[in-house]
Amino acid sequence: MSNIFLSVVIPSYNEMANLQKGVLDKVEHYLSKQKYSYEVIIVDDGSDDGSSEFVEKFVNENSKFKLIKNSHTGKAGAVTNGMLRALGEYILFTDMDQATPIEQIDKLLPFVDKFDIVIGSRNSTRKGAPFSRVLMAKGMIALRTLIVGVRGIQDTQCGFKLFKNLVAKDLFTKLQKFHHGYKTISGSSVKAGFDVELLFLARKNNFSIKEVPVDWLYVETRRVSPVKDSIEALEDLVRIRINDLRGKYNNL
C-alpha cells in the first residue's frame, strides 16, 4: 500500500464546458488544504473536443494530478480503469461537473472505519432538476427494488462513492472480468446499470454500505435523454436480474 490517503477518480468524456468553468482548480484548491495526502486521477475516455489536451496541460502544472487516456469505453470502463490504478487507502469516484462538490467528502470520511463503501445520497427533491429528472429518479428506485432487489439504498445513482482500497480492487476487478474488459463504443454512454450492478455485486460479496446525504445541485447536460435513458435503465436492470438468475455473478 502506498502512503497516499485518498485517491479521487474523475472520468472525463468531452468535458470542455465543465473544465473551462474551473472545476479542476476547485478540486485542487480544496484538496491542497487538507492534512492528508492525495492524488487525483482523471480518466479521459477518448474525448475529441480538446478536453484531453486541456487536462494534460493542467496535470503538467499540478503534480498531484494524473491523466489516464482511455479508448472510448463509456463511464463504466473509464471509472473501472481509474479505480484499478488508484493507490490511495481510500478511493472516491466523482463526476467532472462537480454537481456534488469535492468538499462533500468530509461527510463520507467519518464512516470509512466502520463501512467498506460509503456513498453519497441526493435529496429526493433533486434541487434545481427538471421534473423529468425527478420522475426518472423515483421510477429508478421503484424498478431497481422490484427487478434487482437492491433494497435499503435510496440513491444508487449519485456519482460520489468512496471505497476502501482492497474493496475497490476486488469489486472492480470482478466487474472488469465479468464484462470481459470494456469494449470501445461510439457516442456518450452513462448507463444507470453501472452503479446498480456495482452495488448489487457489493451486496452479494457481503460488503457493508453506508449511505450519507450530500449536497447536490443539478447541472444541465445534453447527455440525458429522459425517454432513451429510461428505456436503457430498464434494459440494464433486466439484464442484471437475468445474469443473477443464471448464476453469472457467483464465481467471479
- Name 8's Cβ contacts closer than 8 Å, sequence gap at least 6: 27, 31, 38, 39, 40, 41, 91, 92, 93, 94, 102
Q: Is the pLDDT of residue 17 over 80?
A: yes
- Name 77's Cβ contacts closer than 8 Å, sequence gap at least 6: 45, 70, 181, 182
- Print the domain residue range for 176: 6-123+157-216
57 falls within a domain = yes
pTM of the predicted protein model: 0.90
180 three-class SS: coil
How many domains does the structure of the chain reveal?
A: 1
129 falls within a domain = no
242 falls within a domain = no
Question: Higher pLDDT residue, 166 or 184?
Answer: 166
Q: Is the pLDDT of residue 23 over 80?
A: yes
* Domain of residue 39, CATH code: 3.90.550.10
238 falls within a domain = no
250 falls within a domain = no
Task: Say which amino acid occupies 119.
Answer: I
243 falls within a domain = no
Residue pLDDT, tens place only, 217-243: 877 655 556 667 778 888 999 999 999
199 falls within a domain = yes
Weakest mean pLDDT among 42-46, 135-139, 144-148, 171-175: 135-139
131 falls within a domain = no
Instruction: List the beta bridge partners of residue 209.
Output: 117
